[in-house]
Amino acid sequence: MAVERPIIGTDLDDLRRDDSRGIPNSDVADAPVRPSLDQALAGLDALDRSGGSARATLAQRTWRSTWPKLIAFGLILLVWQIAVWAHWKPYVLQSPATAGRELWNQLGTSLFWQAVWVTAQQALIGYTLVVVIGGVVGTAVARIPVLRAGIGALITGMQTLPSVLWYPLAVMVFGVTWRAIILMMVLGAAPSVANGFISGIDQVPPGLLRAGRILGARGVSLERHVVLPAAFPSILGGLKQGWAFAWHALLAGEFLILVNPLSLGGRTVGAETQGTYGVVVAMMIVIVFIGIMVDVAFSRVTTSVRRRYGLIDASAG
């Protein structure tokens, strides 16, 4: 009768050496043993290499996300410089070097940073209202069928309107004040946030809702602890889109309403009126840069949330 010996903890050479204990070589399943041990060793080697590959992945991921932006930036500068060399409207179009010097000069003035602060304050106040109003309306529409039937299509219709179309209404309601700009932001961006909430809540699996009710979650507790966390990836997409619309509406309001000439929009319009086109380009660069930085922050948060929820491969760069 063949004696069975455990594989784990047994040296492979002991299993293969000549029988010195009364166990014939033929009883040792040589073919099945070798793949098992080889696979185990391969797995240990893979684990040993995982730390280094993770460190390499961080550098590779950073490079993969950086080089396309650098190439795009270089192409923009090249096209810009070619237009300058072609003398296309030279009284308006400054060279990249001239615009860079003007931007550097602006960075050294207190008026520039005051303009950034004024615009940032309005952006924070307006976007907070956009998130609160859009979130409440979106949750209510998603959970109450009567509201969905009544205003669901209206929300989508409002989302398609350009933010500048709210300018006459905002001025009629609040006059030429900063409140009119905030109203433009809310009307222009809240529908996007609301649609993000509606889409996310609609995608919550019914089984998850049943499980929450079985565990005793009802009403506000169900929405807070089950529905909103499950819908959060889609909600985050709506928040990102809402920021883009809010930023557009804010700058449009600063260009049109001119409440504070010290804002970024006010300084841009003032420079255009005075014919200092270098300042105009410098302000445009700053506005684009702020928008890119916020978009990068949203993208990083979105990727982290989607990875946590298992919506993307955790090992993917």
Q: What is the CATH number of the domain that holds 165?
A: 1.10.3720.10
CA distance 212 to 225: 8
Cβ distance 84 to 93 under 8 Å?
yes
Q: Examine residue 233 and state whether it is found in any structural domain, yes or no.
A: yes
CA nearest neighbour of 229 among 192, 190, 189, 197: 197
Whether residue 242 contacts residue 131, with contact meaning beta carbons closer than 8 Å, is answered with yes
At 43, is the pLDDT very low, low, confident or very high (cuts 50, 70, 90)? low
pLDDT digits (tens, 9 = 90+) for 225-258: 888 888 898 899 999 999 999 999 999 998 888 7
How many independent structural domains does the chain possess? 1
- What H or E segment, with its residue span, contains residue 170? helix 167-174
The predicted pLDDT at position 95 comes to 84
* 120-129 average pLDDT score: 94
> Who's near 208: CB < 8 A, 6+ residues apart?
226, 230
Confirm whether 153 is domain-assigned: yes
Range of the domain at 190: 109-308
In a domain, 139, yes or no: yes
Q: Does residue 34 fall inside a structural domain? A: no
CB burial readout 215-241, b (16+ within 10 A) else e: eebeeeebbeebbbebbbbbbbbbbbb
Please report which confidence band the pLDDT of residue 194 belongs to, taking 50, 70 and 90 as the band edges: very high
pLDDT at position 37 over 60: no
What's the average model confidence in pLDDT over 297-309? 87
The separation between the first and the last C-alpha atoms of the chain, rounded to the nearest angstrom, is 55
pTM of the model: 0.74
Domain presence at residue 43: no
**pLDDT computed for residue 316 by the predictor:** 52
Confidence (pLDDT) at 88: 86
Opening angle at CA 86, ends 81 and 87, nearest 5: 100
In a domain, 97, yes or no: no
Mean local confidence (pLDDT), 272-296: 87
Q: What is the pLDDT of residue 36?
A: 56
